[in-house]
Chains A and B, each alone.
Chain A
C-alpha cells in the first residue's frame, strides 16, 4: 500500500526530483550538492577527468569552465540507462549534479558535441 502511494506521488513530481531508487538522480540545483561531491570540469571540448570511479550514493558535480555551452547527456540504450537524461546546457561556471545510487557503468556525452564522451563507474 505504501509503495503504491509513493509511486502515485512520484508521477506528479517534476523530473529532477527523481526517486532515490533511480540509478541516476538529478539534483534540483547546485546548492543541493554536498561539499564532498566529486568534481568533473568541462573545458576545451573535453570532460576532465573522462573516467571516474565513485562509491554508490556519491554525488558528481560537473562545472563548465568555458564560454562554449556544454551539457551532460546519458543516452537511453547505453549501459544501465533505460531513460534518456539530458542535462541542461551549462554556460560558463554553471554546474550540474547527479547522485549515483546503483553500481554500474554510466556513459555520457555532450548533446551538441557527441564526440565529447566520458563515463562514471559506480562501485
Chain B
C-alpha cells in the first residue's frame, strides 16, 4: 500500500481538499504557494498568520494498515476478465478501504491463517494482453502491502478461469501454496513459500478444487462424484486415494464451495439448494447427511441458490449461510437478494435475511459476533451486515469494475 496521507497541520483550506491523494497534495502545495499574497491577507475567507510567523509544514508519509483481525476483508475485482485487476483491502470494523494491490489476469487470492500476509497467484504478459506469458505467486505483507515473496512458475501452469477460491490455497502452516492446473492434464502445483520455488506439479486424476486437511494432505472433488485424497511429501511425491461417490451425476455442485480448514468442513450446495457437507478432519472424508435448503413447495415457487460465492460457513457457531432468491432454472450465476441461515449439523433453517440489494458473493468473518459480507458486482459495493440480525451496518463502495471474490482469514 502506498497511499500517501498528508498529516497536515496546515491551513483549513488545504486540509479540506487534500483527501489523501499525493498528486492532489502536490498541486495544492504549489497552488497555496502561488496564492500567498505579498503582505498577508485572506484566502478563501481564512486569516493568514501575521508576517514573520512560520507556516505549519505539511508532511507526507506512507501509512501502514493496522494489524489484521478477523474482520480484515480482501475483495478481488477480476474486472470482467481484464488483464489488469485489483485487490482491495478492507477494514470490516470501520467499513473502510485500507489499501489496494495491483494484480494480473484472473488472480486467485490467498490469506494466511494468522492474517499476517496475503497474496495472489497471477498472470501477466510482456505486452499487456499478448507476448511472453508469466505466471507467478506474489505474497504481500498485510500491514505494509509490500511484496515479500515473488515466485515465478515455470511453463505457465495456472488454470485461467473465472475465480474459484478453492483452486488456489495455502496449507494451514502457511508454508506451502497449492494451485490447480487444468491443461494439458490435471495437476496440483506445490509451491514452497519457504524455499521460494515451485517444488513439483503433482499429477492427479480428473478432479478439481483443493481442500488442505493438514500440511501434507488435501482433498479434491472428482468428475465421477467422488472425493480424492492426496497425501504428499515435501518433495512433491504423492499418494492418491479415491472415496465413494457421494452425489448423483445430475446433482450439480457449485464451483464455489465454502471450506473451513480449522473445522475440516466442506459445505457444498447444488443448483437446487441440496447441500452436501464433507468432514475431512483426521484426513478422512466423512460424508454428513445432505440437507435440502428449500422445501418442495419453495422449489416450486422458484427458490434456489444463485450468485458467485453462494455459500459461507461460520465455524464456531456451525452455521451455513446460503445466498438465494426466486429464479428461473439455469440462472444460478445471477445475483440474489436473500441469505438463508442453517444449523450446520442438522440443516435446520434458523433465519432468512433480506439483504436489500442484488448480491453476487457472500462471506462471514470468523469472530464470535460475525459480520456477513455481501458483495454486489453491479454496484461495485461491499455491504457489511450483522450476521445475527441481518442488519446492514456499513458499506464500502467504488470497488473497481466488477468485484466478485471475498477472502477472509479464520485467525
Q: Which A residues, 107 to 123, have Cβ-Cβ distances below 8 Å to chain B?
A: 109, 111, 114-115, 117
Q: Does residue B196 face the partner (Cβ distance < 8 Å to A)?
A: no
A73 touches B186 (CB 8 A): no
**In the complex, A109 Cα to B184 Cα: how many Å?**
8
Q: Which of B183, B184, B185, B223 has the most CB of A within 10 A?
A: B184
How many angstroms from the CA of A73 to the CA of B185 in the assembled complex? 12
Tell me if A99 counts as interface (CB < 8 A to partner B).
no
Q: Does A70 contact B (CB under 8 A)?
A: no
Contacts of A115 in B (CB 8 A): 186, 206, 223
Interface residues of B in 207-234 (CB under 8 A from A): 223
When the two chains form the complex, which single residue of A73, A75, A114, A117 contacts B182, counting CB atoms closer than 8 Å?
A: A114
Chain A nearest Cβ from B70, distance in angstroms? 39
Query: What CA separation (Å) do A82 and B186 show in the bound complex?
Result: 21
Q: Write the nearest CB–CB distance from B222 to chain A, whole angstroms.
A: 10
Contact A75 B206 (CB under 8 A): no
| Residue interface mask A89-121, B partner, CB < 8 A = 1 | 000000000000000000001010011010000
* Contact call A75/B186, Cβ cutoff below 8 A: no
Query: Is B223's CB under 8 angstroms from A114's CB?
Result: no
B363 CB → nearest A CB, Å: 31
Residues of B within 8 A of A73 (CB): 184
Query: A92 CA to B223 CA in the complex, in Å?
Result: 24
Nearest A-chain residue to B187, judged by Cβ = A114
A114 neighbours in B (Cβ, 8 Å): 182-186
Collect the chain A residues with CB atoms within 8 Å of residue B206's CB: 115
Q: What residues of chain A lie closer than 8 Å to B186, measured between beta carbons?
A: 114-115
Q: Are the C-beta atoms of A111 and B183 separated by less than 8 Å? A: yes
Cβ contacts under 8 Å, A75 to chain B:
184
Q: What's the Cα separation between A114 and B186 when bound, in Å?
A: 7
CB distance from A119 to the nearest CB of B (A): 13
| Cβ-closest chain A residue relative to B206 | A115
Interface centre among A73, A75, A111, A114 (most CB of B within 10 A): A114
From residue A105, how far is it (CB to closest CB) to chain B in Å?
16
> Which of B183, B186, B223 has the most chain A CB within a 10 Å cutoff?
B183
Interface string of B174-197 (1 = CB under 8 A from A): 000000001111100000000000
Over the window 221-258 of chain B, the binary record of Cβ atoms lying under 8 Å from chain A Cβ atoms (1 yes, 0 no) is 00100000000000000000000000000000000000
Residue-wise, chain A 1-21 has the 8 Å CB interface mask toward B (1 for contact) of 000000000000000000000
CA distance A75 to B184 in the complex (A): 7
Closest to B181 in A: A114
Residues from chain B with Cβ under 8 Å of A117 in the complex: 185
| Assembled-state Cα–Cα distance A75/B155 (Å) | 13
- Complex Cα gap A115–B223 (Å): 9
A66 to chain B minimum Cβ distance, whole angstroms, is 17
Residue of B nearest to A108 (CB): B184
Bound Cα distance A64, B262 (Å): 47
Docked Cα-Cα span, A75 to B187, in Å, equals: 15
CB nearest to A45 among chain B residues: B223
Q: For the complex formed, measure the closest distance between the CB of B225 and the CB atoms of chain A, giving whole angstroms.
A: 14
Could you say which residues of chain A place their CB within 8 Å of the CB of B182? Answer: 114
A44 vs chain B, min Cβ distance (A)? 12
Report the minimal beta-carbon distance from A94 to chain B, rounded to whole angstroms.
22
A75 to B181, CA, bound (A): 15
Q: Provide 6 A-B residue pairs closer than 8 Å at the C-beta atoms, listed in order of the A residue.
A: A73-B184, A75-B184, A109-B184, A114-B184, A114-B185, A115-B186
Supplied contacts A111-B183, A114-B186, A115-B206, 11 more A-B pairs, CB within 8 Å:
A73-B184, A75-B184, A109-B184, A109-B185, A114-B182, A114-B183, A114-B184, A114-B185, A115-B186, A115-B223, A117-B185
Closest 10 CB pairs of A and B: A115-B206, A75-B184, A114-B183, A114-B185, A114-B184, A109-B184, A115-B223, A114-B182, A114-B186, A109-B185
